Each structure stands twice: as structure tokens, then as C-alpha cells.
């Protein structure tokens, strides 16, 4: 027997992460529409101590994190609660390359306008020269002269990354991440339960409820009718899935299964010991994009300096394949992020050779302890899982919209955060 509905809404948004906050904001601008935004994690805003750009609050036991079991035993971390992964991520907020959006169903001018407005709301700016940490300064000195990529000097002030050096643009204010909740839920009415919203609130139709995992999508006769949650049933003629690439896929498996794809950016780390203390105001301040779709990531320090409980293992430079990505799968048994194929590994290892050369170059001679360079044997992942329900999939269920990292339709040559949020805005604007 189905439990009686505890609430109704015109639209339920499942997941208050990067995409869900954008969607809730866009949909609740219409004051006559009731929007219920539900998240499995805490319904509170993060503490200031959790949003410093110089830390990643993802250690085991961290309060705003969910770990998904992965069949190859890898640590798959996602943010949970208001702001979702935007609360715990690296604060790197780059667009993809302009031509990465050729597969998106909107004209590039529309996409560009969405990015421009998003970047303003998220307080995005490039790190300035005098903000660069020790390793980032040496990295740019090397790649600024090396003609390895055929286009070494950084494209000053361009919002579109290109092949070559790209100074990281970051969503930040006073050394802290500006989270999706900071930017888009400023006027939200936060409630513990499904209470009626305050009619005097700036967004009278928007209610936000935390600690409320959705465990089932309700569909009847090819139409979505609501969701079932830990607190009871919610009836709604429209449901927006924004539970993240893994969370949204889990809810869709009963309808689109038995398995759904998932992609990741495989990354190999090269590590070295430093001859002197390094300063690192943020995890990632500069990256090199190569013509063969690698992103060479200049991490500012040892990961142990950013994440509590991680053993010290040397300052890291990452070589990530930003091409098609790995092809893993999600089933009711769990997540498998897949592994890079032989061609991807060959390119990654070509990038590793470039990094070795850099670490032995004169620009880094006073920084790198001689003989300390080591390459990780295992290839890791970038916490970028995407494309489990690419745009279009699931469209045959009336009233259902998927607009988070699950919906990304193809590879991006930069990290996904900015693109996920822009896509959420573009899709939400089309929901009538
Ligand atoms: C540690 C880490 C570092 C990263 N660093 C960067 C970076 O620096 N730059 C970059 O570009 N990208 C980065 N990423 C990736 C980027 O943050 C994500 O791609 C993006 O935030 C995904 O947004 P989303 O809305 O799809 O999901 P999320 O922001 O993860 O939001 C999903 C939300 O749904 C909720 N949820 C899940 N299941 C349910 C359910 N059943 N019911 C209710 N709620 C549910 C979750 O609690 C969560 O709040 C990083 C990711 C991580 C985890």
C-alpha cells in the first residue's frame, strides 16, 4: 500500500547540489509555482571552516560527503547537503573549450550568455599573478617558454580555455569557495519538514528540505507522478532529477536499466619532494591543455596538505585524459567507473613524459629534490563522473527532467563543474 502524500508541489527537485540549486532558483522565480527542493544530506548551509579554498573537506567521516561503493575498490566521493559537491570540490570553475559544446542542443551564443551570468553569480575570477603559489609559478615559468604545445603563452583574460596554459578561474570570495547554495539559495525558505512556505518570503513557492533522501521515482502511465522519500510521498506533476551523475542514475535504473553508462577522467599522478616549503592558496591554480586532450594539472602541494588523514606522498602533478573518458557502468549492484583503454593510457603516459621533463628543467631546479620524482603505478580518477543519463535519455517519461552531471552529453576538455551548472540553467529555463 502506498503511503498517503505528505506534500504536493508543482515541481520536486531531487538534490540540492550544483545543478539542483540552479534549477530551484530558476523555477521559483515564478512566484505562483510551488517548488520543493529535497536533499539526502544536511539541510543547513556549510560552515565557513568547510569552504576554505585551501582545504578539501572530504576525509572519511566528513559531514557533507557521501561515498559510493565502487566495484574496483576506488574511493568515490560526492558532496551531500545544500550545495552538494560545490561545497567540497576544488573550486576550479573553467568552461570547456568552445567547440566542446557542439553536441549541446543550444546555439553557442545562448550557452555563452548562460556562462557569463553564472560566472557573475558564482563570483568567478582567474587567479591573479600575485596570487599564484610556489609550484604554480614555476609551472607557468616552464610552460611559458616551452613550445611543447605549439601555443604556449596563456590567452590573457579569455573566459574560454584553449590548448596551452590556462590560468584557473575559480568561484571564490575572500579565499573561500562560493557554493551553489551561497549563490542560488539566498532567498530560500529552509524547513525541517514539509511545512507550508512563508508567503512573505522573497520566494514564497520554494521550500528546501534536507536529510530527506528520495528512494523512488513514482511513474504511472508513462508520466511522473511524484517521488517517495524517507519522510513520505510527495505528489508532483513534474520532477527534476539533480541527484548527481550517480544519484540520478540510481533513481532511473528501474526505468532505464539494467545498466547505465558512466564516464570519468582517468588521471595519473607524478609526485616529487620539494627542496623548500611551498605556498598553496588553492588546490589548482593553473593547468596546461595539450592538443591531444590531456589536462596537466599543477596541484599546489601534497594532497595531504589539502585533505585531512591523507598520507604524505609528495607534491602532485596530474596528467588527466579529457577525451572520451572511461566507460564504466551503474547497475543495481553498484558503480564501476571503468578503466582507460590502451589508447588513453598511451596518451596519459606521453603526458607523464612531458611532466618528467618539466620537473628536470632549469625553472624547477631550485624546487625539486633531485632523484625524488616518482610516477604512481595506479591510474586514478578525477571525481568527475558524468553522462549516466545523457541529454535525451528518459525523455519518454512525461514530466521528468534530468539536468545534473548525469545529463552531460559528451566529453569536456575542462572539469565539469561550470558546465553542469550552465546546463542546469539552460534546461530549467525550458521547463514550463
Ligand atoms: C572532491 C571533488 C572535487 C571536485 N573538484 C572539481 C573541480 O575543482 N572542478 C570541477 O570542474 N569539478 C570538480 N568536481 C566535480 C563537480 O563538483 C561535479 O561535477 C558537480 O558538482 C556535479 O554537480 P551535480 O549537481 O551533478 O551533483 P552534486 O553537486 O554532487 O549534487 C547532488 C546532490 O544530490 C543529493 N542526492 C543524491 N542522491 C539523492 C537522493 N536519492 N535523494 C535526495 N538527494 C540526493 C546529494 O546529497 C547532493 O547534494 C569535483 C567533485 C568532487 C566530489
Q: What is the DSSP letter of 161?
A: -
Contact assessment for residue 92 and residue 283, using Cβ atoms and an 8 Å cutoff = yes
Q: Are residues 361 and 274 in the same domain?
A: yes
Q: Are residues 237 and 284 in the same domain?
A: no
Residue 80 CA, ligand 1 centroid: distance in Å: 7
Q: Which residues contact 364 (CB under 8 A, 6 or more apart)?
A: 138, 142, 358
The CB of 92 under 6 Å from ligand 1? The reply is yes
Residue 83 CA, ligand 1 centroid: distance in Å: 8
- pLDDT of 280 > 60? The answer is yes
Least confident window among 196-210, 217-231, 292-306: 196-210
The CB of 38 under 6 Å from ligand 1? The reply is yes
Residue 326 maps to a domain = no
Q: Are residues 220 and 362 in the same domain?
A: no
CA–CA gap between residue 14 and residue 402 (Å, rounded): 10
pLDDT of residue 152: 45
The CB of 260 under 6 Å from ligand 1? The reply is no
The CA radius of gyration of the chain, in Å to the nearest whole number, is 22
Residue 27 maps to a domain = yes
Nearest CA to ligand 1 atom 1: 89
Say which CATH number the domain at 69 has.
Answer: 3.50.50.60
CA–CA gap between residue 89 and residue 252 (Å, rounded): 25
Residue 387: all three cell numbers together = 553522462
Q: What is this structure's pTM?
A: 0.95
Q: Are residues 84 and 191 in the same domain?
A: yes
Q: Which residues contact 276 (CB under 8 A, 6 or more apart)?
A: 134, 366, 367
Residue 277 maps to a domain = yes
Residue 121 maps to a domain = no
pLDDT of residue 200: 66
Structural domain count, the chain: 2
Give the H/E segment covering residue 419: helix 417-428
Q: Are residues 255 and 282 in the same domain?
A: no
CA–CA gap between residue 305 and residue 53 (Å, rounded): 12
Nearest CA to ligand 1 atom 21: 85
Q: Tell me which residue range forms the domain holding 307.
A: 128-167+266-321+341-378
Say which CATH number the domain at 142 has.
Answer: 3.30.410.40
Beta strand pairing call for 65-68 and 214-220:
unpaired
Q: Are residues 16 and 146 in the same domain?
A: no
What's the rounded mean pLDDT across residues 376-389?
95
In degrees and rounded to multiples of 5, residue 87 shows phi and psi of: -80, -30
Q: Are residues 223 and 371 in the same domain?
A: no
Q: Are residues 152 and 219 in the same domain?
A: no
The CB of 16 under 6 Å from ligand 1? The reply is yes
Q: Are residues 363 and 391 in the same domain?
A: no
Contact assessment for residue 250 and residue 262, using Cβ atoms and an 8 Å cutoff = no
The CB of 214 under 6 Å from ligand 1? The reply is yes
- pLDDT of 156 > 60? The answer is no
Q: Which atom of ligand 1 is nearest to the CA of 386?
A: 19
Residue 111 maps to a domain = no
Tell me the average pLDDT of the chain. 92
Q: Are residues 68 and 187 in the same domain?
A: yes
Q: Are residues 186 and 81 in the same domain?
A: yes
- pLDDT of 191 > 70? The answer is no
Q: Are residues 219 and 278 in the same domain?
A: no
Contact assessment for residue 53 and residue 283, using Cβ atoms and an 8 Å cutoff = yes
pLDDT tens string 330-382: 999 999 999 999 999 999 999 999 999 999 999 999 999 999 999 999 999 99
Residue 296: all three cell numbers together = 596537466
What's the rounded mean pLDDT across residues 257-284?
96
Mutate to test the pocket of ligand 1, among 18, 20, 62, 85 (most ligand atoms within 8 A of CB): 85
The CB of 253 under 6 Å from ligand 1? The reply is no
pLDDT of residue 193: 56
- pLDDT of 249 > 90? The answer is yes
Residue 173 maps to a domain = no
Residue 152 maps to a domain = yes
- For the chain, what is the largest distance between any 2 Cα atoms, rounded to a whole number of angstroms? 72
Residue 229 maps to a domain = yes
pLDDT of residue 45: 83
The CB of 243 under 6 Å from ligand 1? The reply is yes
What's the rounded mean pLDDT across residues 217-226?
96
pLDDT of residue 196: 56
Share of the chain above pLDDT 90, in %: 83
pLDDT tens string 118-143: 999 999 999 999 999 999 999 999 99
Amino acid at each position: 500500500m502506498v503511503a498517503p502524500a505528505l506534500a504536493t508541489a508543482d515541481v520536486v527537485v531531487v538534490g540540492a547540489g550544483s545543478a539542483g540549486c540552479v534549477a530551484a532558483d530558476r523555477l521559483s522565480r515564478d512566484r505562483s509555482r510551488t517548488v520543493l527542493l529535497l536533499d539526502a544530506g544536511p539541510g543547513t548551509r556549510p560552515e565557513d571552516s568547510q569552504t576554505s579554498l585551501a582545504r578539501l573537506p572530504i576525509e572519511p567521516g566528513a559531514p557533507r560527503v557521501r561515498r559510493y561503493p565502487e566495484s574496483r575498490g576506488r574511493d568515490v566521493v560526492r558532496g551531500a547537503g545544500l550545495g552538494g559537491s560545490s561545497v567540497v570540490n576544488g573550486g576550479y570553475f573553467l568552461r570547456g573549450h568552445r567547440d566542446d559544446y557542439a553536441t549541446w542542443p543550444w546555439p553557442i551564443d545562448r550557452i555563452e550568455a548562460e556562462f557569463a551570468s553564472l560566472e557573475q553569480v558564482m563570483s568567478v575570477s582567474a587567479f591573479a599573478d600575485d596570487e599564484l603559489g610556489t609550484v604554480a609559478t614555476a609551472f607557468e615559468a616552464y610552460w611559458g617558454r616551452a613550445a611543447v604545445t605549439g601555443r604556449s603563452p596563456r590567452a590573457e583574460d579569455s573566459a574560454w580555455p584553449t590548448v596551452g596554459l590556462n590560468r584557473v578561474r575559480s568561484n571564490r570570495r575572500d579565499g573561500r569557495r562560493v557554493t551553489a547554495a551561497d549563490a542560488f539559495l539566498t532567498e530560500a525558505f529552509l524547513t525541517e519538514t514539509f511545512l507550508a512556505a512563508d508567503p512573505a518570503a522573497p520566494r514564497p513557492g520554494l521550500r528546501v528540505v534536507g536529510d530527506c533522501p528520495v528512494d523512488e521515482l513514482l511513474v504511472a502511465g508513462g508520466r511522473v507522478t511524484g517521488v517517495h522519500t524517507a519522510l513520505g510521498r510527495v505528489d508532483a506533476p513534474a520532477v527534476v532529477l539533480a541527484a548527481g551523475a550517480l544519484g540520478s542514475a540510481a533513481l532511473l535504473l528501474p526505468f532505464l536499466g539494467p545498466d547505465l553508462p558512466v564516464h570519468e577522467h582517468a588521471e595519473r599522478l607524478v609526485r616529487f619532494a620539494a627542496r623548500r616549503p611551498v605556498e598553496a592558496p588553492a588546490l589548482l591554480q593553473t593547468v596546461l591543455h595539450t592538443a591531444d586532450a590531456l589536462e596537466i594539472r599543477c596541484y599546489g602541494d601534497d594532497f595531504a596538505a589539502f585533505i585531512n588523514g591523507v598520507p604524505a606522498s609528495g607534491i602532485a602533478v596530474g596528467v588527466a585524459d579529457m577525451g572520451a573518458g572511461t566507460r564504466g557502468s551503474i547497475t543495481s549492484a553498484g558503480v564501476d567507473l571503468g578503466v582507460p583503454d590502451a589508447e588513453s593510457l598511451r596518451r596519459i603516459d606521453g603526458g607523464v613524459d612531458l611532466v618528467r621533463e618539466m620537473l628536470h628543467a632549469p625553472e624547477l631546479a631550485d624546487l625539486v629534490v633531485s632523484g625524488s620524482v616518482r610516477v604512481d603505478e595506479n591510474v586514478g580518477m578525477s571525481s568527475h563522473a558524468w553522462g549516466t543519463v545523457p541529454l535525451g535519455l528518459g525523455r519518454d517519461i512525461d514530466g521528468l527532467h534530468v539536468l545534473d552531471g548525469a545529463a552531460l552529453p559528451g566529453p569536456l576538455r575542462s572539469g565539469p563543474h561550470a558546465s553542469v551548472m550552465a546546463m542546469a540553467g539552460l534546461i530549467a529555463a525550458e521547463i514550463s
